[in-house]
Amino acid sequence: MRSVFVFFPFDLFGTGGCAAGADLLAAELAEILADNRRETAPSRARAYTDAVTIKQLSLGNLTELADWRAKGRRVATQILRSDDFLFWISGNHLGVLPVHDAIARRRAAGHRDLIVQFDAHLDIHQFA
pLDDT tens string 59-108: 888 888 899 999 999 999 999 999 899 999 998 888 999 999 999 999 99
Give tens-digit pLDDT for 7-55: 998 888 766 678 888 899 999 999 999 999 999 999 999 999 999 999 9
Residue 119 lies in a domain: no
The answer to the question of residue 99 being in a domain is: yes
Domain assignment of residue 87, given as a range: 3-108
Q: Establish if 40 belongs to a structural domain.
A: yes
Question: Has residue 121 been placed in a domain?
Answer: no
In this prediction, residue 59 carries a pLDDT of 86
C-alpha closest to that of 5 among 112, 106, 99 = 99
| pTM of structure | 0.86
Q: In what order do the strands lie in the sheet with 52-56?
A: 52-56, 3-8, 85-90
Residue 122 in this model has a pLDDT that exceeds 60: no
Question: Residues for the chain: how many in total?
Answer: 128
Q: What is the pLDDT of residue 7?
A: 94
116 is a domain residue: no
How many domains does the chain fold into? 1
Residues 6+ apart with CB under 8 A from 16: none
The answer to whether residue 74 sits within a structural domain is yes
Residue 64 in domain? yes
DSSP structure class, residue 109: T
**pLDDT reported for residue 125:** 62
Q: Is residue 66 part of a domain?
A: yes
